Amino acid sequence: MLRIAYIFGIFSLLCIIPSQSFLVPYHSELLRSTAIPRTLPLPSLVTLNAKSGKKKKKPKSNTICVNRQARRNFEIVDKLEAGISLTGTEVKAIRDGKMNLQDAFVKPSKNGRSCTLVNCHIGKHDMSGAYFQHEERRERPLLLHKEESRKLLKKTETTGMTIVALRAYFNSDNKVKVQIALAKGKNVRDKRNDIKERDSKRETGRIMKNFRM
């Protein structure tokens, strides 16, 4: 009988099915927390734009030349745009950068119907023959309306102002234009005051740039 009871007890123990919590009491929650999900979220795609080695080209300015002495020696009162009559070799030389307005001024006619640009230097074109060349300092007529030229003549006769050429440039239609201005002559004192004002503005600009947040 004792043998039968002992065999029956062993058999009953072998037939018991242990649970998962009974086998792994401490690691069940750890397995649940560290379980790998079936579907993982896709990583966000980041596009990196590499910088190109070439530098951006600066837009070309339409300015041909500037008369810096005019603003230094004269006080500008009024500005005006005028066309200019040129020959073929003059236009080619201007495109090569051979125009100078340093000593140029505008001379109205006696009847006030037209104006001419005097003492403007345009160098000769290298690729043209001697027969087709132009005079470098010839008087070149400006393209203005009669009313505009008459107003300029009155201003020069009554107030004693001079007409100076400020700059030459190409307009939107690729035509040469000259900016002229009525101006008053400056004294030595006025020039010194202008230099002082320019220096003070420069210093204030530097201070504001350093203390800018």
The pTM for the full model equals: 0.61
How far apart (Å, rounded) are the C-alpha atoms in residues 119 and 136? Answer: 9
* Best mean pLDDT range from 10-19, 33-42, 49-58, 120-129: 120-129
Q: Is the pLDDT of residue 29 over 60?
A: no
pLDDT tens digits along 163-175? 999 999 999 889 9
Q: Is the pLDDT of residue 7 over 80?
A: no
- Determine the residue type at 97: G
**Which carries the bigger pLDDT value, residue 190 or residue 178?**
178
Q: How many residues does the chain have?
A: 213
How far apart (Å, rounded) are the C-alpha atoms in residues 103 and 89? Answer: 21
How far apart (Å, rounded) are the C-alpha atoms in residues 176 and 117? Answer: 13
CB-CB contact of 178 with 142 (8 Å): yes
Mean pLDDT of 174-185: 91
Q: Is the pLDDT of residue 144 over 70?
A: yes
| Domains of the chain, earliest start first | 63-187 (2.40.280.10)
Q: What is the mean pLDDT of the chain?
A: 77
